[in-house]
């Protein structure tokens, strides 16, 4: 019974956090390249970094033939959302290589909440500090 109370006291604020917050949103646009050429069909995910529970995936899209993307996402939060992008691709030193999948994280300033954030042109040959690599 004590364990149940402890769990309830721990979990209740987490659930209330989502119930009593207001909807926050962001739109992100950008243009992705691999070695200076437009990079099509790249997976772009918009996430909200949550401190108390698992991060929330807000939306997902793929780049078009010109390497462009546009994502809109919203979440119910008491505080500001802390958005970031996960870009999953096969660009290795400017060349498309299906043997490995790379995931780069791009943090988005919280000040763009409710606005459009332009990531501008990003060449995925340049690894981010948080790049993850998975090879087959």
- Distance, in Å, from the CA atom of 64 to the CA atom of 42, rounded to the nearest integer, reads 8
Q: Is residue 3 part of a domain?
A: no
pTM for the full predicted model: 0.83
Residue 115: give its domain's CATH number: 2.60.40.3330
Q: Is residue 11 part of a domain?
A: no
> Averaged over 122-128, what is the pLDDT?
94
122 neighbors 32 (Cβ within 8 angstroms): yes
Question: Which uninterrupted H or E stretch holds 29?
Answer: strand 22-34
Q: Is residue 95 part of a domain?
A: yes
Q: Could you list the residue range(s) of the whole structural domain that residue 44 is in?
A: 22-135
1-18 pLDDT per residue, tens: 676 666 556 655 555 555
User: Number of folded domains in the chain?
Assistant: 1
Q: Is residue 98 part of a domain?
A: yes
Q: Is residue 8 part of a domain?
A: no
18-33 pLDDT per residue, tens: 566 889 999 999 999 9
């Amino acid at each position: 019974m004590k364990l149940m109370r402890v769990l309830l006291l721990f979990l209740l604020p987490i659930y209330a956090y989502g119930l009593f917050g207001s909807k926050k949103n962001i739109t992100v646009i950008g243009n992705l390249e691999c070695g200076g050429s437009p990079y099509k069909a790249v997976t772009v995910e918009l996430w909200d970094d949550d401190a108390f529970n698992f991060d929330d995936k807000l939306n997902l899209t793929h780049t078009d033939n010109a390497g462009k993307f546009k994502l809109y996402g919203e979440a119910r939060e008491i505080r500001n959302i802390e958005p970031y992008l996960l870009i999953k691709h096969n660009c290795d030193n400017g060349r498309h290589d299906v043997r490995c999948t790379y995931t780069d994280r791009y943090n988005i300033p919280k000040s763009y909440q409710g606005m459009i954030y332009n990531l501008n042109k990003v060449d995925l040959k340049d690894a981010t500090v948080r790049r993850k690599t998975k090879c087959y």
